[in-house]
A and B are shown apart, each in its own frame.
Chain A
Amino acid sequence: MLYLQILLNGLLLGGLYALIAVGFSLVWGVLNVINILHGTFIVLGSYIAYFAHLYFGIHPFASVIISGSVLFCLGYVIQAGIINRVVAAPVLMTLTLTFGLDLLLNNAMLIAFTADYRKLILTDSLGSYDLWGLILPLNRVAGVGLAALLTFGLYRLLRDSNIGRAIVAVRMDREAATLMGVRVNRINAVTFALGALMAGAAGSIFSIIYPISPINSGLFLGKAFVICILGGLGSVPGAMIGGIALGVIESYGALFLGPEHSTTLAFVILIALLIFRPTGIMGRKGYE
């Protein structure tokens, strides 16, 4: 039973991890931009959910729409106005740019919200359900369900819509896409905005699970990196598999090696993967 409970915990954690990484992976894979802002975007989404709940009583699952839209607009403006100017430059250049923007946004949030931890407390918390001795934390289950829905939505969008196909085209071959009449700068901005939207939505869902503070952005960013490398860059299924793999590995790592070394196991597997399969579990050659 213990093993089953830990598997369940790992899967739930993995679902949340996948949501952290999916937007980050999309931006990295399509634009070749390592978006250091991603963790801060998530925290901003959490603050939007927190204040929407505090002042208007909006449930964080409903405020996913608000935080997603706000972050979508913010992401679009940042990419179209700033990052697009250097998007063709080597990756180190865009990395430095997003690093700088992250310092700005994160410190602005520190000034606006202070570093104090806040926590959104639901008055009508769903509690837990005991399924033949297996404890299901229902808020988390619902959060992961919503996360899966959002991720599936993004997956369908990329596959079925014109704009999605244009994004995939840019990811595969930027020059050919330009020649085919795709307005690459606009696609860049939409892609970055979609990445930010996913981060904002993740933030809303996380607001019921994690304490909220600008200091936490680094934690989310760190996880996003690991998941992307585990799962493979640029694809939605890659981020899903990477996130779930990390969640399950960490949970069993904590059981067998102690919580102190739960991440040790994850990193050992990561290094092994980098040596033997640098594209990640789901990645394709050429996008490593």
Chain B
Amino acid sequence: MKKRALFTLAVSTLFVGLQAVGGSSSVQAAEKTIKFGAPLPLTGALAPEGIKIQRGLNLWMDTANAKGGIKVGNEQYKIKIIYQDYQSNTPRAVQTAEKLITDDKVNFLFSPFGSGATKAASGVSEKYGIPTIASTASSEAVYNQGYKYLFGTFTPNITLTQPLTDMVIAKRPETKTVAILARNDFFPLAIANVMKKSAAKRNLKMVFFEKYAIGTMDHSSALVQMKAAKPDWIFATGYLNDLILIRNQMSELGVKVPVLTMVAGPAYKEFIDGTGKLAENITSAAWWHPAVRYNGKGVMGKTENFNKLFKAKYNLVPDYAEASATAAGIIFQLAIETAGTLDHKKVRDALATMDTETFFGPIKFGANGQISSLKPPVFQIRGGKPLVVYPDVIKQIDLKFGIK
């Protein structure tokens, strides 16, 4: 009997608590605010990425609100981002996006993380006609669905591998063969496949192409086979854990190569800390890099200013995922201010015709909604720092060859 009473008490407390939460949000909604929905993987396997996007979005929201918010016609609106955790579960990302639109009545939407979940959720925003910006989707399949309300800040994967291939061949014409080792996972495999295309386009011979399973604890067999094939260029894909292990095992097994490219890890400080001297001369590409310099419009202004604000708020150096999220917010703000209204159709048209520059880079979307103006930088680790080798306008250093 006593237990039952306790249970009733617990349930009623929970209920009252929930009502209190609901109540407070409706009070806030009475202010002049624009609501943005952000379905993100805040827990589960993709949590590190989800938190990065949240950091980027929060920086935009706080900076813009401190300056008075978004100007719509003659009125100022505060920004409110409603986050919903979809627990790294893609089907739930779709439900969450729909809930944000129908229950929370958000004006605009940010996409979930990555190409897969963005593609899945894009149908929902299209159905309701809600302008949506994807900050971490690069796959062209996401944008080639004929949708009108989806825009994305990442260029197709091939824009990462093609400039790199062109540059390697231009600077080292004797480069003839390439070996690829790819993590069997959505993005790492996609980037490996476009690398294969870029290599074929420049007549490089593929001497090794293998996938490894997620959670692989030893790469020695693959590396020994690669070594036997004597490639001029090794292209390895995966995440931090994989790439640190691969680089260390390469050194242990005496695999030496003129060019070593790794995606996506070298952009992070943890990679350089985890490989030490072995990081030297590794090349990589990403959609953005803190060393790029753009004279941006919007609340962030120049790239230097974004880096400074990010560092001040989080005591971290921003990476491309965080920068892209902040940029997505700024793009929305610029489009709304240009449209001068919250009307979905008009904001959508302002996005479609946008031609401007932000700290992230020049912003202009193609007919399918994917950004077409951005030139992703290629960088190389030198003296423990990632330095830009391409494009020429922001180049910090010349590409160097040789991995010991």
Q: Which residues of A contact B (CB under 8 A)?
A: 2, 5-6, 9, 13, 115-119, 121, 128, 130, 135, 137, 139-140, 209-211, 213, 215-216, 219, 222-223, 247, 250-252, 254-255, 258-263
Contact = CB atoms under 8 A, between A and B. Distances in A.
Interface in B44-68: 47-48
Contact of A262 (B48, B216, B224): B216
Contacts of A251: 218, 220-221
A211 B240 CA distance: 9
B274 A117 contact: yes
Q: Chain A CB within 10 Å — which of B216, B218, B224, B254 has the most?
A: B218
A262 B221 contact: yes
B244 A219 contact: no
Given A211-B240, A260-B210, 4 more contacts: A9-B220, A128-B253, A210-B245, A261-B213
Contacts of B222: 254, 259
- Interface of chain A, main secondary structure: helix
A255 B227 CA distance: 13
A146 B184 CA distance: 34
A256 to B, nearest CB: 9
Contact of B274 (A211, A219, A263): A211
B75 interface: no
Nearest to A215: B241
B241 A2 contact: no
Contacts of B253: 9, 128, 135, 137
A70 B125 CA distance: 54
A148 B34 CA distance: 64
Complex A-B, nearest 5 residue pairs according to Cβ-Cβ distance, in ascending order: A254-B221, A137-B252, A119-B274, A9-B220, A259-B212
A210 B242 CA distance: 9
Given A6-B224, A210-B245, A139 B274 contact: no
A210 B217 contact: yes
A5 B225 CA distance: 10
Interface of B: 47-48, 181, 184, 210-213, 215-222, 224-225, 228, 240-241, 244-245, 248-249, 251-254, 270, 273-276
Contacts of B216: 259, 262
A252 B61 CA distance: 53
Contacts, number: 96
A2 B211 contact: no
Contacts of B221: 6, 9, 250-252, 254-255, 259, 262
Contacts of A258: 210-211
A223 B218 CA distance: 12
A128 B244 CA distance: 18
Contacts of A260: 184, 210-213
Contacts of B248: 119, 209
B119 to A, nearest CB: 24
B213 A263 contact: yes
Nearest to A253: B221
Contacts of B218: 9, 13, 247, 250-251
Given A128-B254, A210-B245, A223 B273 contact: no
A245 to B, nearest CB: 15
B39 to A, nearest CB: 22
29 contacts: A2-B228, A6-B221, A6-B224, A115-B48, A118-B270, A119-B275, A121-B274, A121-B276, A128-B253, A130-B254, A135-B253, A137-B249, A137-B253, A139-B252, A140-B252, A210-B217, A211-B241, A211-B244, A213-B241, A222-B215, A254-B222, A255-B221, A259-B210, A259-B213, A259-B221, A260-B184, A260-B210, A260-B212, A261-B213
Contacts of A119: 244, 248, 273-276
Given A211-B241, A211-B274, A259 B252 contact: no
A250 to B, nearest CB: 7
Given A119-B244, A211-B241, A262 B213 contact: yes
Contacts of A223: 217
B376 to A, nearest CB: 24
A193 to B, nearest CB: 26
A225 to B, nearest CB: 13
A39 to B, nearest CB: 12
B249 to A, nearest CB: 8
A259 B254 contact: no
Nearest to A125: B251
Contacts of B47: 115
A25 B252 CA distance: 30
Nearest to B222: A259
Nearest to A1: B228
Nearest to A213: B241
B255 to A, nearest CB: 9
A115 B45 CA distance: 11
B217 A5 contact: no
B224 A5 contact: yes
A19 to B, nearest CB: 13
Contact of A118 (B211, B252, B273): B273
A117 B241 contact: yes
Contacts of A259: 181, 210-213, 216, 219, 221-222
Contacts of B245: 210-211
Nearest to B247: A119
Contacts of A140: 252
B212 A2 contact: no
B213 A216 contact: no
Q: Chain A CB within 10 Å — which of B213, B240, B273 has the most?
A: B213
A114 to B, nearest CB: 9
Q: Chain A CB within 10 Å — which of B240, B251, B274 has the most?
A: B274
Q: Chain A CB within 10 Å — which of B210, B220, B241, B254 has the most?
A: B220
A211 B246 CA distance: 11
A216 B212 contact: no
Nearest to A252: B221
B369 to A, nearest CB: 33
Contacts of A216: 241
